[in-house]
Amino acid sequence: MIGVIAKPEQTAVVEEFFELFKTPWEFYDQDRVYDVVLATSDHLPDVDATLLLVYGSAVKNSDAASGIDVGARGRGVMLDCHGSSLPIYGPFATFRARDKADNAVVTASGGIAGLRFESERTFTIRLGYDLFDEARLLISAGQPVENAHIPTLDAHIEMLREWILSAGVPLLEIPPVPSGHSFVVCLTHDIDFVGIRNHFFDHSMWGFVYRSSIGGVRNFVRRRISSERLFRMWRALVSLPFVYLGWAKDFWNPFEWYLRVEKDLPVTYFLIPFKGRAGERVPNDDQYRAAAYDVSDLPEWTAILTKAGCELGVHGIDAWHSADKGREELARIGTVTGQSGVGIRMHWLLHDTNTAFVLEQAGYAYDSTAGYNETIGYRNGTTQVFRPLDAQALLELPLHIQDGALFFSNRLDLSEPEAWARCGQLIGNAGRFGGVLTLVWHDRSHGPERFWGDFYARLVQTLKSANAWFGTASQVVGWFRKRREVRFGQSESASGAGTSLLYSGEAIDPPLRIRLHHPSVVNRLEPRREPPAAHIEFAWNGRTSLDVDRLLKGMCGRPSGLPRTELCPQW
């Protein structure tokens, strides 16, 4: 059990942090004994614990007694934790070590930002930044483009887990990954166009003409496309009059191609609710945001997609700033599709600090706007579905990989090998941290003049071979919502107090992983980072309350306090 001593204003972010790091915890009770105490408050009581973690740049009342000398202070720094870079966005401080027995666990360019030392009974780690203030900033404002590639919040959780295990404390956790799978994948499509026939002598048509002719030659010279792809662009350009006459297939119709490539996979399509609306409060009053179709133009395709098991969500126009207009857009999609629990992703990813609250007031089940237009990566520093701090029930499905961000010349402008390497990094992080990898591939991206379809098909096949669980946005959010509903309780037995899992909802499918981390033996005379600890785990679908200690005793045939060097062979 972790006891948390936080500042009063940090209550909400502490609760959300421990929905992401799903492990037993509670706010500190001075009448209880804890294995781990985590503190950000400036005033700490006397603590008796195996591990004490003290975060913050301000001087703590315990620093003097511990002989800690707070040195330089600043704001915004890149930390080095055993070779991994971690951005800190708020205030930080560095420390001067007392003696050679002290061990630096985190460093910065200005010195030691994390110090580990030992008293008679307790390991103490003193960090020069506030964990919960960092978590609040990441969840609320997000991180800048230059650090998009770093899953910062997940790294904070990983570091905390390692420090607990290196102190010899066993750890019960429900990881953010379903049993039997390596991570979760959510395939989505933002449908901005459904055919070039809707665009006759407008900016979209002329843009296609330019990019298929002059732009195509330019990209060929830059070695962004092959001669074969350039020829395909020219062939599509020549066919354009026949498309308008109805004599040739409309190459901007996306649905047939996606249904073939994603056969038998659950997919979410975000559809425009009203045509011809650019929306209010659009940057630069850009009328190009208005779509030439809306969901009412697609009765045949909405039926086909629904029958294929796809989810239809709202590609919102003004819902990001107006609850009334958000309700109107939600009703428009709901009336056409007949689906409930509808989610949203804003057109152009428009949002502000009030968007989560507004969308919740409008009645949306989830939002999937939290991503970048300029790049790929982790706007909020996490692979996990999370709850924005100003929402009560609405959850955020983060967006990680966007086609336009990879390939547009005014964004990353990557070659396909470069884009593949960047996507591979995010796939690797999903395998490391769990959580969900969310992709958006737009309607026109498979065909002329982009021809990004082969890249996408290869990406889907790679994800299928990675043992990932695929779900629609609603299914993925629903799985994370059920994980959040699990609570850690206390059970009493003849051998003493233990931990139980409590859940009263529907069966969780795929099941959760219940994981018990088994810490390495610690050399208390020479603290150091230990190798990754082993763990045992089992699947649980939540149908019954679960006494973890009793289950361990029954399956292993020994008391639940397993020797540190021994694992139960039946697991």
Of all residues in the chain, the percent with pLDDT exceeding 70 is: 91
Instruction: Flag whether pLDDT at 434 surpasses 50.
Output: yes
235-271 as b/e: b if 16+ CB within 10 A: ebbeebeebbeeeeeebbbbbebbbebbeebbbbbbb
- In this predicted model, which residue has the larger pLDDT, 269 or 103? 269
> What pLDDT score was predicted for residue 558?
38
Q: Report, as an integer, the average pLDDT of 248-260.
A: 92
* 328 within 8 A of 364, measured Cβ to Cβ: no
Residue type, 86: L
DSSP letter at 384 equals S
| Residue 523: per-residue pLDDT | 45
pLDDT single digits (tens) 363-381? 999 999 999 999 999 999 9
Separation of alpha carbons 339 and 322, rounded Å: 22
Decide which of 418 and 64 is more confident. Answer: 418
> Residue 74 above 90 pLDDT?
no
**Mean of all residue pLDDT scores within the chain:** 88
Question: For every residue of 56-100, which 3-state class applies, written as one string?
Answer: CCCCCCCHHHHCCEEEEEEEEEEEEECCEEEEEEEEEEEEECCCC
pLDDT band at 550 (very low <50, low <70, confident <90, very high): low
HEC string for 364-378: CCEECCCCCCCCCCC
Set out the domains of the chain in order of their start, with CATH numbers: 2-169 (3.40.50.880), 184-195+252-479 (3.20.20.370), 486-556 (no CATH)
Give CA–CA dist 194/443, Å, rounded. 7
Residue-level pLDDT at 417: 95
pLDDT more than 90, % of the chain:
63
Looking only at the bridges linking them, the beta strands covering 534-540 and 395-396 are: unpaired
Residue 537 pLDDT: 87
Going by pLDDT thresholds of 50, 70 and 90, the confidence category of residue 520 is: low
Best CA proximity match to 34, nearest among 164, 166, 173: 164
pLDDT at 181: 97
Q: How far apart are CA 172 and CA 289, in angstroms?
A: 48
496-502 and 546-547 strand pairing: antiparallel
Sheet holding 496-502, edge to edge: 487-493, 496-502, 546-547
Q: Is the pLDDT of residue 221 over 60?
A: yes
Cα torsion 52, 53, 55, 61 to 10°: value is: 10
pLDDT attached to residue 561 = 38
| CA dist., res. 259 & res. 257, Å (int) | 6
Identify whether the C-beta of residue 306 lies closer than 8 Å to the C-beta of residue 284: no
- What's the pLDDT at 16? 98
- Per-residue pLDDT tens over the stretch 327-346: 999 999 988 888 778 999 99
Amino acid at 214: I
Name 265's bridge partners: none
Torsion of CA 25, 28, 30, 32, to 10 degrees: 0
Tell me the pLDDT band of 447, cut-offs 50, 70 and 90. confident
Average pLDDT over residues 520-536: 54
CB proximity list for 9: less than 8 A, separation 6 or greater = none
Alpha-carbon distance of 139 to 382, in angstroms, equals 9
Confidence of residue 84 (pLDDT cuts 50, 70, 90): confident
Q: What is the mean pLDDT of residues 277-282?
A: 93
Q: What confidence score (pLDDT) does residue 251 get?
A: 86
- Residues 6-38 have pLDDT tens digits of 999 999 999 999 999 999 999 999 999 999 999
Please determine, for residue 452, whether its predicted confidence score (pLDDT) is greater than 90: yes
How many Å apart are CA 193 and CA 269, to the nearest integer?
12
Residue 507: both structure tokens together: 């069966």
Distance CA 468, CA 21 (A): 21
Write down the pLDDT at residue 560. 38
Name the band, by pLDDT with cuts 50, 70 and 90, for residue 525.
very low
Flag the least confident range among 64-78, 144-158, 332-346, 348-362: 64-78
At 568 the pLDDT is 36
pLDDT at residue 557, as a whole number: 42
